[in-house]
Amino acid sequence: LDPDRSLLEQCNDLPYDHDFEFPEERLVLGKSLGQGAFGQVLRAEAIGMSAFKPRDKAPEAVKMRDKFRRSFRKKGADESDYKDLASELKILIHVGEHKNIVNVLGACTRGRRLMVIIEFAPYGNLLSFLRARREVFEPTWTKTNPDPEAEYTLVDTSMASYQISKGMEFLARKKCVHRDLAARNVLVGPDYVMKVSDFGLARDIYQDDLYVKTTSGLLPVKWMAPESLFDRVYTEKTDVWSFGILLWEIMTLGGTPYPGLPTEQLLDYLSEGQRMAQPQNCPLEIYTIMRDCWMQLPDQRPHFGTLVERLGNVLERN
């Protein structure tokens, strides 16, 4: 692979590792967890997965694309969606395993459906998780109760931010550009471990101003860097911009970015050098990191490795 090009650009050159092929007859599909951009996400049980290689993980969720599913969408959409899921499968296999990303466990590619088996996140997506903790949030660095269901503090928000930065550092090292990093696309796994994901669950069910329809498709404009909005450029540094927006979401416990600002005014707002204000109860050191992520010039934004170090230092100091 070309180290100067992203994985997405080279996806057609990636092979499918047949060691990940799991027998479809041993997959028991359960309830739907959501409808994504190119298929369903289902709870599932993969019988015998504990003895299945290549990875010893507990199976629990399946992304599915029916090759022959009828659709009222434009002609060719199903084929395109199938290819998208197949591309995601190859990228997930190639990227490898990390604690802070949603890992692929196997796939069923030989039947009439393409199904990708991934880790299950019992606490759902981070956006809903944060909003559910608004009533128990305390803006303190002291924890009296280790259970985030009973008490959520700056320790928890900083730990979540740190873990996500670790996952993104790993993806950046693998030349994998996310393009849609946001709280809705981070899942909360066992022991409240943050896992970067892109299920596509939000595209069809979120309010219209999160994804704006353009000739390039649905775009999450309020999370996008200026160069992505103006020139459709996507790099590690555009993911860093989105990470700054994600930090803002975390510190507002699931707030919607640029509150009160109509989406159509966002380009002018950013072009004028304006940025979101420091959220209430957000430590200055965290807000400083946000602002660094929102530097106008990409080269002035930190790399994810630097963000891991800075957020780790925040945790150590406090």
Q: Per the annotation, where are the binding residues for ATP?
A: 34-41, 53, 63, 184
- Residue list, annotated binding site: 34-41, 53, 63, 184-185, 198
Q: Which of 13, 180, 191, 268 is catalytic?
A: 180
Cα distances (Å, whole numbers) of residue 7 to 146, 178, 235? 39, 10, 11
Q: Could you give the count of Cα atoms lying within 13 Å of 29 in the half-sphere of its Cβ?
A: 15
Q: Could you give the count of Cα atoms lying within 13 Å of 285 in the half-sphere of its Cβ?
A: 14
Under 8 Å between Cβ of 154 and 160? no
CA distance linking residue 132 with residue 150, whole number of Å: 11
Is 56 part of the annotated catalytic residue set?
A: no
- Residue list, annotated binding site for Mg(2+): 185, 198
Q: What does the DSSP 8-state code read for residue 187?
A: E
Q: Is 262 helix (H, G, I), strand (E, B) or coil?
A: coil
Under 8 Å between Cβ of 114 and 65? yes
| Backbone torsions φ then ψ of 253, nearest 5 degrees | 55, 50
Under 8 Å between Cβ of 15 and 71? no
Residues annotated catalytic, as ranges: 180
